[in-house]
Amino acid sequence: MRLNRNCLFFILSFCYVKGVDKGNFKSCEQSSFCKRHRATRETPSAYIADLKSLSLHKERAFIDVINVEANIPLTLEIIALHNYAFRIKIQEKNGLRKRYQVENALVREPETAPIILLEKKDDHIVLGLDAVNRMVIQGNPFRLDLFNKDGHVITMNGRGMFKFEHYRTRKTLLGKAISKVAEVVGSSGSLTHRLASWIGNLLSSPEEIPMEHNPETDSQIEPLDAEEVQQTSEEPPAEVPVNNDAEETEPGMWEEDYKSHHDSKPYGPSSFGVDLSFPGSNHVYGIPEHADSLALRDTLNGDPYRLYNLDVFEYELWSPMALYGAIPFVMAKGKEGAVGVYWQNAAETWVDVRDVPGGGVVSSLMKLVSGGASEPGPHKEVHFISESGLMDVFFLLGPGPKDVLQQYTGLTGVTPLPQMFAIAYHQCRWNYNDQEDVQFVHENFDKEDMPLDVIWLDIEHTDNKKYFTWDPIKFSDSLGMMKNLSDKGRKLVTIVDPHIKRDSNYFIHKDCEANGFYIKDTNGKDFEGWCWPGSSSYPDFFNPAVREYWKEQYAFDKYHGTTKDVYIWNDMNEPSVFNGPEVTMHKDKLHHGGWEHRDVHNIYGMLVVDSTFQGLMARGENKLRPFILSRSFFAGSQRYGAIWTGDNGAEWGHLQVSIPMVLSLSIAGMAFTGGDVGGFFKNPETDLLIRWYQAGAYQPFFRAHAHEQTRRREPYLYDETTKDIIRQAIRQRYALLPYWYTLFYENEKTGIPPMRPLWLEYPKDSDTFALDDVYLLGDSLLVRPVTESKATSVKVYFPSDESAMTIWYDVETYETFTGRGYKSIEVDMYKIPVFQRGGSIIPKKLRPRRSSVLMQHDPYTLVVALDEEGKASGTLYIDDGESFDYREGKYVYGHLDYQRGKLSFRFLDAGRYSDASWVERIIVAGLRLKPHKIFAQIQGTKDHVELDFKYEAKMHILTIRKPKLPMNYEWHLQFY
Ligand code: NOJ
C-alpha cells in the first residue's frame, strides 16, 4: 500500500511540475466519432424531412427524417413548450436499441403548450407557439429555422452537417454472431453487452461480411417503448435512394483503442451531430467547463470545445480541453437580444464554434417563407457532436439574455438559497493533519481577527481513505473538535468521494458488493479501478437502490462523529479512475438498466451529489439547508449546491481565467461557484495570494485550498501588512453578506445568478460582449479585481445605459465615474476596484465578527448611491440564515427606494420575520443639497422621529447615524 501511494505521489508530482499532460487526453482526431462528424464540414450529409408524414397532435408533432444515403428513417418529434421554447427529439424510427434519454437534469417534465400549424406547403411547414415565435421545417434538404420577435434567430442544419449514426448490425462475422446471440437471448441490454464483449475477445480481426439491416429481426433486440414510438400519417414516405452504407468501413466504429485502453463498442456507432447557426449573433457563451474566455472562440484551426467530465491535473489555460463538468447549453447574443440552445445529452460531446463571415444560412426557400429571413451578416455557428443517447434539443427563444436564463433554469432548476455560512469564507487544505491542527487553525483566525466560517478536511482525515470514517488516531475525538467549532458558530466540511476501497472489512464495500451496487465490467463482475484508496469500485448511482443507500449513510447514527454542523464535499466524481482511459471510467462499463457508461458519463457526478443532497436533507429532517461542494457537474447540478473549478495553479493566468470560468458557469445556471483561492498547485508569491483573496472575496464561492505538497499558507502566517490586506479583503466579503444573500435569494426566485457578465444588465452595450476581466454582482456592483502582477493601475470598463449617463461610485472613496468606456484606476495592494451603480441601494453589515453566524443580529448599513436624477432603489432579503422556514413565509423581502427626499422600505410580499435586525447607519452618496432635517416614521407608529446626520458638502455624502429602523416593519424617512 505504501508503495502504491508513493507511486501515486510520483505521478502527481510529475504533473505538479509540468502542468497538464495533453497526451493523456484525446483530441478530436483521436476520437473517431468526433472525426467522422467534423468531416461533414467538407462533405455535408444528406437528409430530407418527409413533410407528408407530419402527424400533428395538440402539443407536439412528428415528422419522418430520412438519410438519403442509408435510407434509414428517423423520427423528429417537435414539442411546444410553455415560456417560448421548442423541444425536439430525434431517434431511429425502428431502432435496434433504445437510446438513453437523460432523466435527472430537468427539474420536472416541462410544461407543454399548444402547437399551432401556421403554414403547410409542399416544401415547408411552419409550426408556432404563436404567430411570432415559430419554427419552419424545410423538407429537402432537412433544416429547421426558428424565429422570435427579432426575426430569424436560429437555424439547425443550415450547413447540412446533420449526421445521425443509426444503431445497426455489424457487417462482419463478429457482428453477425452478436446479433444472432442477441436474437436468441432477447432484449437484456447487459447480457447482450457481455456476450458481445466475450465474442469480441475471442475474435480479433473479423472478416468483413456484408449483412443487410433487418429491422424486423433487429427490433426484437431492444424495442422502443410504446410511447416512444412515433406516430406517422397514412401517407407513404417520399422516395429515397437506396443505402450504400459507405461509412460502415470507417475505423473506430465498432471498437476503438486509446493508449492501452480498448473500447469494445458492442453496439457500434451511435453518434449524431448537427450545425446550429445564430443569424444576428456575433457571440456565443456557455458550454462550461473550460478554462477559456467567456465568449467562445472560433475552433476551426484547433480542437472543438470538449464536454467530457475528466479529472485533469493543473489544466491548460485558454483551452477548449474538457474539464471536470459539462453543461451542454449555449447562449447566443445578438445586438440586443439573445437565444439559447440546451443540448440535453450526457455522452461525450464536442462543440465546434465558427465565426461565419456572412450569408450561408438562409436558403432561397427561407426568403420566400412568410416573415422569412434576409441574408445574415457575420454571425456565429456551433456544431454539436455527441457519441450516443437521444438527440434531445431545447431551443430557447429569449428574446433577451435574462429571458433565456429564466427559460433554461425553468427547465433545469435553480440553486436553492444557501445557508449564510456557505457564502462566507472557507479555509481548506489537503490536509489539516489532525484535530489539534483544526483547533490551531481556527484559533489563529480568531487571534488575528480574521473572519472564518468553515474548516475543511480532505481525504487524509479518513481511516485509510474509507469515506464516512475517521482516522482513529488523528481524529479520535471528532465530536469534541466539532463542539469547539460550533461554539464559535463555525462549520466543518468533510470529503466523501464516490470510489470505495475494496477492503473486506469496510462496511460500505461489504454492503455494495453484497447488494450488487457497483458499476459492472463487461463480463458482469464488479468493475475495479484505481483511486486514492488503491483498488476501488464505484457505486452505480443510476440504481435507485444505490442512491437510497448512499443517502442513508449520512444519518448521524451511521456517519459516526458528525453533527449537524458537518457538511459534505463530493470530489473525484467525474468519476476519476487513475488507471482508466483519460483518468476516467471505460465507456463500455455497465450501469443499472443496461446502459453503457458511454451513454451516461457526464451525468454520473451529478447523481452522486443528488444522493448526498437527499442524505443531508434526511439527516436534518428536512429542516436545515444542505451544503455540498462537487467537482463534477451537469445541467441541473445547480440544484444541489456549489461547484469549484478544480485543480488550478498558483499562477496569475489561473487567477485571470477564474473570472470567465465563473461567469461561464453562472450563465449556464451554476450560480454558486468559485476557484481555489491561492491556486491549488504550487506556492503563490505573496502578492498573488493577496490579489487572489481580493478576487475570491467577490466570487460566489469563496474558499482557499492548497495541494498537500505546498507550503502552509493560512493568511495568519504572513507578515503584518499582508495579514492586514487579506483581513480587509475577507471583511469586505462579510460586510457584503446581506447583499450576497439577497442575490442568492433572488437567484432562487428568478434563475438570474449573483455574478453576471456586464451584457446581462447592459444587453445593448456591444463593448461588453467580450470582456473577461470585469463583471457585476447583481445589477449594482461592478467588480474589476486586480489580476496582474505588480499592477499600479487597471483599466476598468464602465458600462452604461442608453443615455450613457450611468454614474459609478468607488465603494471606498465615493469618487464618481460617469459615461461608458474605459477609465484608468490607480491601485495599491489594498485596493479592490469595486464600484456601486448610481441608482442602487446596497445593504451591508459593517461590524467585524469572527463568523457570519455571529453577525446574524448585527444592524445594517444602507448605502444609497443616487443616479443622475437623484433616485435609487434596491432590495433586502432576511431570514434565519439556515433553515427552510423561509419556505413557510418566515422571511422579510423588502424594497428600498429613494426619490424626491423620501427613503422608504416596503415589503415586497407576504413574508414576515420578527427576528430581523435594524438599521444603524444610512449613507447617501450623490446628494447635491444638504437637508435641514430628516424625520423617520415607522409603520404602526404615529411618531415622526427626528434623526441625527452629517453632510460632507465636498463629496455630497450624507450619513444618518443610528436611525434605529427595524427591518421587520415598513418605514420611511422624509428629508426636508
Ligand atoms: C482532487 C481535488 O481536486 C483536490 O481539491 C483535493 O484536494 C484532492 N483531490 C484530494 O482529495
CB within 8 A of 951, min separation 6: which ones? Answer: 927, 930, 931, 957, 958, 959
User: Does any ligand 1 atom lie closer than 6 A to the CB of residue 700?
Assistant: no
- Express each pLDDT in 911-920 by its tens digit: 999 998 999 9
Nearest CA to ligand 1 atom 7: 430
- If 0-12 CB within 10 Å is exposed, 13-18 middle and 19+ buried, where does residue 182 land? buried
> What is the Cα–Cα distance from 855 to 881, expressed in whole angstroms?
10
What is the pTM assigned to this prediction? 0.92
Written as one letter, the residue type at 781 is L
Ligand 1 site, residue 631, Cβ cutoff 6 A: yes
DSSP one-letter code for 289:
-
Residue 258 Cα to ligand 1 middle (Å): 26
Q: From the CA of 678, how far away is ligand 1's center (Å)? A: 14
Share above pLDDT 70 across residues of the chain, in percent, rounded to a whole number = 88
**pLDDT value at 17 more than 50:** no
448 lines ligand 1 (CB under 6 A): no
pLDDT at 942: 85
Q: Determine if the peptide bond prior to 141 is cis (ω within 30°).
A: yes
For residue 780 the three cell numbers come to 449594482
The whole-angstrom separation of Cα 139 and Cα 52 is 9
The catalytically annotated residue of 263, 458, 497, 571 is 571
Q: Which candidate in 453, 647, 765, 867 is catalytic?
A: 647
Rounded (10°) angle between helices 435-447 and 478-487 = 10
CB neighbour list of residue 772: distance below 8 Å, 6 or more residues apart: 293, 294, 656, 659, 660, 663
Q: What is the dihedral of CA 124, 125, 131, 134, to 10 degrees?
A: -90
Using the atom order of ligand 1, give the atom closest to the CA of residue 707.
7
Instruction: Name the strand (E) or helix (H) holding 876.
Output: strand 872-878
H/E element, 530: strand 529-531
DSSP secondary structure string for all residues of 577-629: -TTSGGGS--TT-B-GGG-BHHHHHHHHHHHHHHHHHHHHHHHTTTTBPP-EE
Share of the chain above pLDDT 90, in %: 84
pLDDT tens digits, one per residue of 790-831? 999 999 999 998 877 999 999 999 999 998 999 999 999 999
Centroid of ligand 1 to alpha carbon of 264 (angstroms): 31
Using the mean position of ligand 1's atoms as its centre, give its distance from the Cα of residue 632 in Å: 12
Mean pLDDT of 507-517: 98
Is the previous residue joined to 399 through a cis bond, with omega within 30 degrees of 0? yes
Among 569, 647, 676, the mutation site with the greatest number of ligand 1 atoms within 8 A of its Cβ is: 647
Q: Determine the pLDDT at residue 193.
A: 52
Name the residue of 458, 499, 568, 577 whose CB sits within 8 Å of the most ligand 1 atoms, as the mutation to test its pocket: 458
CB 169 within 8 A of CB 287: no
pLDDT above 60 (res 104): yes
Cα distance between residue 640 and residue 627, in whole Å:
8
Atom 4, ligand 1: residue with shortest CA distance: 647
Per-residue model confidence (pLDDT) at position 250: 81
pLDDT in tens, 398-456: 999 999 999 999 999 999 999 999 999 999 999 999 999 999 999 999 999 999 999 99
Average pLDDT (120-138) is 98
Average pLDDT, whole number, for the chain? 91
CA dihedral of residues 190, 191, 193, 198 (deg, nearest 10): 140
Question: What phi, psi does 32 have (nearest 5°)?
Answer: -60, -40
Atom of ligand 1 nearest to the CA of 576: 1
Return phi, psi of residue 158, to 5°.
-65, -25
Q: In ligand 1, which atom is closest to the CA atom of 324?
A: 3
d(CA 876, CA 906): 10
Report the separation in Å between the CA atom of 323 and the middle of ligand 1, taken as the mean of its atom positions.
14
Ligand 1 centroid – CA 9 distance (Å): 13
Q: How confident is the model at residue 177 (pLDDT cuts 50, 70, 90)?
A: low
DSSP for 110-158?
PPB---EEEEE-SSEEEEESSSSSEEEEETTTTEEEEEETTEEEEEEST
Residue 334 near ligand 1, beta carbon < 6 Å: no
The best mutation among 648, 680, 682, 708 to test binding of ligand 1, ranked by most ligand atoms within 8 Å of the C-beta, falls on 680
Ligand 1 centroid – CA 430 distance (Å): 7
What pLDDT is stored for residue 178 in this prediction?
Answer: 52
Atom of ligand 1 nearest to the CA of 631: 3
CA distance 259 to 166: 27
CA distances for 81 relative to 84, 105, 130, 222, 629, angstroms: 6, 17, 11, 30, 32
Q: How far is the CA of 936 from the centre of ligand 1 (A)?
A: 53
pLDDT digits (tens, 9 = 90+) for 477-494: 999 999 999 999 999 999
Which amino acid appears at position 859 of this protein? P
Indicate which atom in ligand 1 lies nearest the CA of residue 430. 7
Distance CA 338, CA 760 (A): 10
Residue 357 CB neighbour total at 10 angstroms? 9
510 CA distance to ligand 1 middle (Å): 26
Of 572, 578, 633, 708, the one to substitute when testing ligand 1's pocket (max ligand atoms within 8 A of C-beta) is: 572
Supply the pLDDT for residue 176: 52
Say whether pLDDT at 859 is over 90.
yes
Measured CA to CA, the distance from residue 107 to residue 129 in angstroms comes to 22
Sign of the alpha-carbon dihedral angle for 860, 863, 869, 875? negative
Dist. CA 653 → ligand 1 center (Å): 20
- The continuous run of DSSP H or E covering 364 comes out as helix 364-368
Q: For ligand 1, say whether the CB of 646 is within 6 Å of any of its atoms.
A: yes
How many residues make up the chain in this entry?
976
CB neighbours of residue 802 within 10 Å: 10
What is the rounded distance in angstroms from the CA atom of residue 43 to the CA atom of residue 36?
Answer: 11
Residue from 571, 633, 682, 705 whose mutation best tests the ligand 1 pocket (most atoms within 8 A of CB): 571
Confidence of residue 251 (pLDDT cuts 50, 70, 90): confident
DSSP 8-state secondary structure symbol assigned to residue 649: B
Residue 246 has pLDDT above 60, yes or no: no
Closest CA relative to residue 472, chosen from 429, 511, 435, 439: 435
Cis omega (within 30 of 0) on the bond before 575? yes
Q: Which ligand 1 atom minimizes the distance to the CA of 647?
A: 3
pLDDT at 219 over 50: no
- Whether ligand 1 lies within 6 angstroms of the CB of 430 is answered as yes
Question: Tell me, what's the pLDDT at 238?
Answer: 38
Contact 92, 168 (CB under 8 A): no
Residues 102-117: what's their mean pLDDT?
97
Cα–Cα distance, 395 to 338 (Å, whole number): 11
pLDDT at position 757 over 90: yes
pLDDT value, residue 948: 97
DSSP annotation of 767: G
Whole-number Å distance between alpha carbons of 304 and 350: 6
Report which of 94, 103, 43 is spatially closest to residue 72, judged by C-alpha positions. Answer: 94
Q: Does residue 459 line the site of ligand 1, with CB under 6 A?
A: yes
Q: Find out whether 532 and 500 touch, Cβ atoms under 8 Å.
A: no
460 Cβ below 6 A of ligand 1: no
- The alpha carbon torsion through 738, 743, 744, 748 (nearest 10 deg) reads 140
Which residues, at least 6 apart from 3, have a Cβ–Cβ distance to it below 8 Å?
A: none
Q: How far is CA 498 from CA 601, 606, 636, 646, in A?
A: 14, 11, 19, 16
Instruction: Give the torsion sign (CA, 872, 878, 882, 887).
Output: negative
647 lines ligand 1 (CB under 6 A): yes
pLDDT digits (tens, 9 = 90+) for 860-913: 999 999 999 999 999 999 999 999 999 999 999 999 999 999 999 999 999 999
- Measured CA to CA, the distance from residue 673 to residue 702 in angstroms comes to 8
Pairwise CA distance, residues 286 & 332, whole Å: 9
Contact 160, 205 (CB under 8 A): no
Q: Is 675 in the pocket of ligand 1 (CB under 6 A)?
A: no
Q: CA-based Rg of the chain, rounded to a whole angstrom?
A: 29
Task: Tell me which of 557 and 916 has the higher pLDDT.
Answer: 557
Q: Which atom of ligand 1 is nearest to the CA of 495?
A: 11
**Would you call 571 a catalytic residue per the annotation?**
yes
Residue by residue, what is the 3-state secondary structure of 8-75?
HHHHHHHHHHHCCCHHHCCCHHHCHHHHHHHHHHCCCCCEEEEEEEEEECCCEEEEEEEECCCCEEEE
Separation of CA 586 and ligand 1 centre (Å): 22
3-state class (DSSP) for residue 210 = coil
User: How many H-runs (helices) and E-runs (strands) does the chain carry?
Assistant: 17, 51
**Interval between CA 571 and ligand 1 midpoint (Å):** 7
Residue 8 predicted with pLDDT over 80:
no
Residues 6+ apart with CB under 8 A from 180: none
Q: Burial level of 236, CB count in 10 A (0-12/13-18/19+)?
A: exposed
CB under 8 Å to 581, separation ≥6 — which residues? 258, 259, 261, 263, 587
Q: What atom of ligand 1 comes closest to residue 705's alpha carbon?
A: 5
Q: Is the CB of 571 under 6 A from ligand 1?
A: yes
694-746 pLDDT, tens digit per residue, is: 999 999 999 999 999 999 999 999 999 999 999 999 999 999 999 999 999 99
**CA pair distance 411, 399, nearest whole angstrom:** 17
- Higher pLDDT pick, 105 / 207: 105
User: Is the minimum distance from the CB of 461 to ligand 1 under 6 angstroms?
Assistant: no
Q: How many CA atoms lie within 13 A of 138 on its CB side?
A: 23
Residue in 20, 323, 430 to alter for ligand 1 test, most ligand atoms within 8 A of Cβ: 430
Nearest residue to 440 (alpha-carbon basis) of 712, 627, 710, 693: 712
- Report residue 235's pLDDT band, with 50, 70 and 90 as the boundaries: very low
Residue 497 CA to ligand 1 centre (angstroms): 10
